Structure 1
Amino acid sequence: MGKMLSKIFGNKEMRILMLGLDAAGKTTILYKLKLGQSVTTIPTIGFNVETVTYKNVKFNVWDVGGQDKIRPLWRHYYTGTQGLIFVVDCADRDRIDEARQELHRIINDREMRDAIILIFANKQDLPDAMKPHEIQEKLGLTRIRDRNWILSSPVGFSLCEDGQHEFCRLFRIESRGYNEILSWFKLEEFHHMSFIDKVFTLFHGTSAVEELGRKLLILHLKKNEILSVYFTNIKQFMY
């Protein structure tokens, strides 16, 4: 796995597939990544594809329609995918089970077994929207034992992985252990990142942030404690 990820991040391009039920907000997210602003969209019948350059890496992002009649075609887009963004409408409680079924169907496909998984909890600002911890439970994320996944929302994220060192390799910081990724958790720094910086930092990693707050964050994670204010939860699940 580590060698595979090193190979991925040694390249200058990365293929990301964005999936989710219809009306989850996938196309809005795609063009927010591309243009840095929200745009008016219409339901996607086929697909949209855009190349987004982040620093020196080109991310080819495929946004595929989510209507139930289109979903059987999703698998035709799996080959070569290195990162999956699965978008969930947090206000759509009636279809959260349907979203769970589709997510697990995707990640259990052999073509997607090496893809990094980012679940984006969208529409958190709507009344009665599910909180990230509810999304985590209802999507059955804690039952994913052999994959690296990240749950992200406009206000925070939680993570699960099979050990801290594997997570460090995921973000290309194997040589420095997990201190660097902890420094990325510095609350003020991450909170003030732009939307595109937050999303692509999850996939591509980041340079070391200065020492402020590092020792405290290390202590929190070693104690398996919750970091509050801007983050939902940072917790390690081992198997």
Structure 2
Amino acid sequence: MGLTFAKLFSRLFAKKEIRILMVGLDAAGFNVETVEYRNISFTVWDVGGQDKIRPLWRHYFQNTQGLIFVVDSNDRDRIVEARDELHRMLNEDELRDAVLLVFANKQDLPNAMNAAEITDKLGLHSLRQRHWYIQSTCATSGEGLHEGLDWLSNNIANNKKT
């Protein structure tokens, strides 16, 4: 009986470790951070997004459970490029089970596209076999970031159960 409770408590309260890849067209440089959030340890690989770096993204796909794709909501000129890069990544076999969180960033700017418009322009509704979510964010104020991480942690946990 004690062993049963020990197993139950370890499942309920043990810290979970999750590997996240974060990319976007304009991310600069390379950064790896471990973020503790709600008893989950997110290891976030932010691998940069300049044209020359993008071919290297595939080296970080293995064992990735969640993909955070950051979109500049104010950059209408590059939304098609963002869509193409996103779909190129999602077609990679190593990311087939990864859940997708899109951060529609810079929502504080007056001409920013809203989440519905970005959903349409990125073609997210065509992703029928993938768990995805779009979250409006403002990185400078932190608005929307926690909601996105909540969705990500819940859906990665649910993805593991299925």
Determine which of 144, 153, 168 is the counterpart of 2:136.
Answer: 153
Determine which of 14, 20, 24 is the counterpart of 2:24.
Answer: 20
AA at the equivalent of 2:25: L
Runs of 4+ in 1 over 4 A off after TM superposition: none
Determine which of 186, 197, 209 is the counterpart of 2:146.
Answer: 197
Q: Which residue of 2 aligns with 1:87?
A: 70
- The within-5 A match list for 1:73-112 is 73-112=56-95
Using the alignment, how far apart are the partners of 2:62 and 2:154 within structure 1? 23
Secondary structure (helix, strand or coil) at the match of 1:72 reads helix
Structure 1, residues 23-56: CA drift from partner, whole Å, max 9, x if none?
5xxxxxxxxxxxxxxxxxxxx23x1010011132
TM-score (norm 1): 0.54
Deviation for aligned residue 1:16:
0.5
- Indicate conservation of the 8 Å contact 2:114/2:136, yes or no: no
Structure 1, residues 48-92: CA drift from partner, whole Å, max 9, x if none?
010011132211011111000100000000000000000000111
Using the alignment, how far apart are the partners of 2:127 and 2:146 within structure 1? 26
Q: Which residue of 2 aligns with 1:120?
A: 103
Determine which of 41, 47, 51 is the counterpart of 1:58.
Answer: 41
Deviation for aligned residue 1:128:
1.4
Using the alignment, how far apart are the partners of 2:106 and 2:125 within structure 1? 22
Q: Pairwise CA RMSD of aligned residues?
A: 2.2
Gaps of 5+ in 2: 1-13, 156-162
AA at the equivalent of 1:140: G
Deviation for aligned residue 1:197:
3.4
Larger fraction in strand: 2
Identity of aligned residues (%): 60
Deviation for aligned residue 1:195:
5.0
Gaps of 5+ in 1: 1-9, 24-43, 156-193, 207-239
Q: 1:137 and 2:158 equivalent?
A: no
Structure 1, residues 126-167: CA drift from partner, whole Å, max 9, x if none?
131111111011101111111111011139xxxxxxxxxxxx
Number of residue-to-residue matches in the alignment: 139
Deviation for aligned residue 1:22:
1.0
Deviation for aligned residue 1:11:
7.0
Structure 1, residues 173-231: CA drift from partner, whole Å, max 9, x if none?
xxxxxxxxxxxxxxxxxxxxx7553232112229xxxxxxxxxxxxxxxxxxxxxxxxx
Using the alignment, how far apart are the partners of 2:24 and 2:145 within structure 1? 19
